[in-house]
């Protein structure tokens, strides 16, 4: 049995809200007057998931692997980046055990989209949706998210060594 059977990583991301949309979180387009601004599609949730997975695998962060100054990543769908990260994880002989995430936004209300987001992330990571946690929290008017300036996301991911994975 390997001495690094199980690993954990944490990720965090934030992007400012800017008109016009689209707003994408977890690869799901959410109707809203504003979208997130960034070099890619600015999907803060997917970026947090990528960083959590990369950290667990001992790999560089998303900004190092997919730099904002590289035109190849301009406006790229973050789900493509997540697919690349999933491939990197597999190359290191790990599989995703589970992820757990929180999106912090004053608006829009995300509850109607949570199941679609979970399905999207699960499909990209080749795991069952019950291994994906996604919650939306309101900052109750506090901080930049509470003032509607942006949306942030946090994620914890656990990986398991493939050789020891009895699924």
> What does the pLDDT read at residue 4?
77
Q: What does each C-alpha distance from 50 to 102, 132, 139, 147, 154 come to in angstroms?
A: 14, 13, 23, 26, 11
Q: In this structure, is residue 1 part of a structural domain?
A: no
Q: In this structure, is residue 47 part of a structural domain?
A: yes
Q: What does each C-alpha distance from 102 to 46, 49, 99, 121 come to in angstroms?
A: 11, 10, 10, 13
Please give the structure tokens belonging to residue 22: 């689209």
Q: In this structure, is residue 98 part of a structural domain?
A: yes
Q: Give residue 77's domain range.
A: 6-164
How high is the mean pLDDT of the chain?
Answer: 94
Q: In this structure, is residue 92 part of a structural domain?
A: yes
Q: In this structure, is residue 101 part of a structural domain?
A: yes
Q: In this structure, is residue 48 part of a structural domain?
A: yes
Split into its structural domains, the chain has a count of 1
Q: In this structure, is residue 117 part of a structural domain?
A: yes
d(CA 60, CA 46): 16
Each residue's pLDDT expressed in tens, for the chain with a length of 167 residues: 456 799 999 999 999 999 787 899 999 999 999 999 999 999 999 999 999 999 999 999 999 999 999 999 998 999 999 999 999 999 999 999 999 999 999 999 999 999 999 999 999 999 999 999 999 999 999 999 999 999 999 999 999 998 754 44
Is the distance from CB of 127 to CB of 165 less than 8 angstroms? Answer: no
Domain harbouring 93, CATH code: 3.30.1330.50
């Amino acid at each position: 049995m390997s001495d690094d059977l199980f690993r954990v990583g944490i990720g965090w991301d934030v992007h400012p809200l800017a008109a016009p949309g689209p707003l994408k979180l977890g690869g799901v387009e959410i109707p809203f007057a504003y979208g997130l601004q960034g070099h890619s599609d600015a999907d803060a949730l997917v970026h947090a998931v990528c960083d959590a997975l990369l950290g667990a695998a001992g790999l560089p962060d998303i900004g190092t692997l997919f730099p904002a100054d590289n035109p190849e990543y301009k406006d790229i769908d973050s789900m493509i980046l997540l697919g690349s990260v999933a491939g990197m994880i597999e190359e290191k002989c790990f599989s995703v055990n589970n992820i757990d995430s929180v999106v912090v936004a004053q608006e829009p209300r995300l509850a109607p989209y949570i199941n679609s987001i979970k399905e999207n992330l699960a499909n990209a990571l080749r795991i069952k949706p019950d291994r994906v946690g996604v919650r939306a929290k309101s900052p109750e008017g506090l901080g930049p998210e509470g003032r509607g300036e942006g949306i942030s996301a946090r994620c914890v991911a656990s990986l398991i060594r493939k050789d020891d994975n009895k699924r």
